[in-house]
Amino acid sequence: MPGLTCLFTERRTAVPPIGGPDAARRRLIDSTPAHRAGSYGDPVGDEAAEYYDRMLVDAEWSEAFCLTFVRGLDDAALITAFGGDPAALMSQAQLAQTLDGFRYGAEPATLVVAALGDWRVGIEVNGCQGNRPEVLRRAAAAGDGVAASVFRDVTGRSEFTYVSGDRVRVVLDHLRPQRRSGEDPGLFDEHVADLPFGYADDIIPEAAGLALVERITGVRLPADLMERDLPGVLLTLVPDDLVPEGGRGLAALEHPFVRRMLAAPTMENLPAMAAFRARLIAEDAGLAGEPVIRELLAALDAAREPGPHLRPRLRELHERLAGDLQAMNAVQDIAAAAFPGDDPAERFATAYAVQDSDRSLQAVVLRRCALRAIGEVRRPAPAPVPPPAATAVPAPEAHLRYPVLARQFAGWTPEKQRAVSRWLARRAFEVAGLDTLEWARPALEALDRGDPLPFPDRRAVFRLISAAALVTAATGLPLDQIGDRLSERQRAELRERIDRAPMAVITIFNTTDPDPARALADTFTTALATFDSLAEDLVNELRARFG
């Protein structure tokens, strides 16, 4: 029977590790015999972070994963808390076979469960449910009241989260541990101070997170965890909270309209939510008295489409406000509510930061209600489909965000699909700042020619975009020698490059799919993720270039 590593290694959703040391750096852990055996009740040693560093280096899934720790419950209770059906539990071989029946990008979330004494560990490869407060609170409530998770995704987001008493107590950024939130962000200060977060000592940051969990729980993950044949299950996602944890019971939510929307977050109420939220933004930004804004808000209140003559007037207002970024962002969000694109979620843009606390909470809640309604319409029932044939259609993400464009993709010739895929990959490398790196130039030239990419495998590329490697490539200095040599702007640019790099690499590999339609669909999806907040710029550029 396959172990956890074997189950996910060959799936396209799994990617090699970023930021970990190479094979030459792997070391034997000088630990007690009990620790070498992978026991879970032993005293915590100072070597814990190194122990987990080696474990993550050896793991095939250390680039994107979530490990959730809960005590005092059984497998069935943990699975239920995550949105799974305990009666549908299956072996890893069965789970792998089931996942193979889904089209790329349409695979459901999965959970694999390990029992360590009184503790249950939920393992998600390329998953994030255990990082969500909604899920952690359910899991904690099903157990003895506490839950903790260590999470990383392909964009580089990396967090430790601790929940107790139905509240998020601590959220800690593994890369920048000074960034903490929650009701008691300093709760584990005594443990955090001497752990190697932020790539200290060249340790994978999530290894420090796992060492923190070990200090809190006394649980050590066994060294052979990835080799065990653990049971798994498909998940139906637990819905997001409509009210943020910190907003519970506040007077702002007693507004009659907000209460009605909370009671009925449906597509029928989407126009009313967009209108109310646009007015909140206009009032908060001091723009409600602008004539064009008044006309737009009146149209939204009446649930009628604003006249096209308002578009140029709105652009004029936007230009007149040049220099006041917040006001310009407010105009942008009001315009999105009034003139939506293909995606209904675009009506609830978040460029503007609402200043008034009551308005801010109302705006957040209405957006969540809207996204809940949109998600219910979009969410298909998980059902395996036959493997895609040569006439594959674009990935679901492309259909959901840009359905008109996705339909155009399907009608293009294979030659054009290939050309657009290669262009998208190049643009992803450019926006991630990878195109100027010495190792990337031959890859982009091969891409332009339609030749095979000059890499032995994906793992080789992901080693080149670790935080340490990118910092050295950009500055010529090792990560541990940067100190205060960079300006805040340079640091911000480096952080952005590090965040965008993983999806850019996945994008260039997606172009190699033998099916040109599927290559374009997958490349478009990951290119959008690479561009992130600049996704609209990419779409506009694509439309202007290829029609």
Residue partners of 284: CB distance under 8 A and separation at least 6: 330, 352, 354, 355, 356, 359, 360
pLDDT at 285 over 80: yes
> Which residue's entry shows tokens 């007149």?
320
Q: Which candidate, 23, 26, 54, places its Cα nearest to that of 38?
A: 54
Domain membership of residue 356 (yes or no) is yes
Of 101-105, 234-238, 357-361, 382-386, minimum mean pLDDT range: 382-386
**Average pLDDT value for residue range 438-458:** 84
Q: Which of 344, 378, 412 is the last residue of a domain?
A: 378
d(C-alpha 89, C-alpha 84), whole Å = 9
Note whether 441 and 530 are same-domain residues.
Answer: yes
Note whether 152 and 285 are same-domain residues.
Answer: no
pLDDT per residue as tens digits for the range 308-321? 999 999 999 999 99
pLDDT band of 106, cuts 50, 70, 90: confident
Note whether 459 and 487 are same-domain residues.
Answer: yes
What's the pLDDT at 166? 86
Residue partners of 526: CB distance under 8 A and separation at least 6: 428, 503, 506, 507, 510
Torsion of CA 302, 307, 312, 318, to 10 degrees: 10
Q: Which candidate, 405, 442, 370, 379, places its Cα nearest to that of 520?
A: 405
Residue partners of 181: CB distance under 8 A and separation at least 6: 168, 170, 171
Q: Which two tokens stand for residue 224?
A: 């052979």
Note whether 204 and 289 are same-domain residues.
Answer: no
Note whether 266 and 331 are same-domain residues.
Answer: yes
Note whether 437 and 469 are same-domain residues.
Answer: yes
Structural domain harbouring 74: 4-234
Q: Which of 234, 257, 273 is the last residue of a domain?
A: 234
Longest dimension (CA), the chain: 77
What angle separates helix 488-510 from helix 516-531, to the nearest 10 degrees?
A: 170
Domain membership of residue 342 (yes or no) is yes
| Domain tally, the chain | 3
Q: Identify which has the larger pLDDT, 464 or 81.
A: 81
Bridge partners of 115, per DSSP, are 120
What angle separates helix 270-284 from helix 256-263, to the nearest 10 degrees?
A: 140
Note whether 403 and 516 are same-domain residues.
Answer: yes
Q: Which of 352, 378, 404 is the last residue of a domain?
A: 378
What's the pLDDT at 223? 87
Ranges of H-type helices in 132-269: 133-142, 189-192, 205-217, 256-263
d(C-alpha 298, C-alpha 284), whole Å = 17
Note whether 335 and 314 are same-domain residues.
Answer: yes
Domain membership of residue 384 (yes or no) is no
Domain membership of residue 505 (yes or no) is yes
Q: 120-124, 428-432, 446-450 — which one is most confidently predicted on average?
A: 120-124
pLDDT per residue as tens digits for the range 126-140? 899 999 999 999 999
Domain membership of residue 386 (yes or no) is no
Note whether 402 and 258 are same-domain residues.
Answer: no
Strands 167-173 vs 180-181: parallel, antiparallel or unpaired: antiparallel
Q: What are phi and psi of 152, to 5 degrees?
A: -150, 145
Note whether 356 and 405 are same-domain residues.
Answer: no
Note whether 400 and 507 are same-domain residues.
Answer: yes
Domain membership of residue 524 (yes or no) is yes
Note whether 339 and 403 are same-domain residues.
Answer: no
What's the pLDDT at 13? 33
Domain membership of residue 42 (yes or no) is yes
Half-sphere exposure of residue 89, counting CA atoms within 13 Å on the CB side? 15
Q: Is the dihedral of CA 374, 377, 381, 385 positive or negative?
A: negative
Domain membership of residue 385 (yes or no) is no
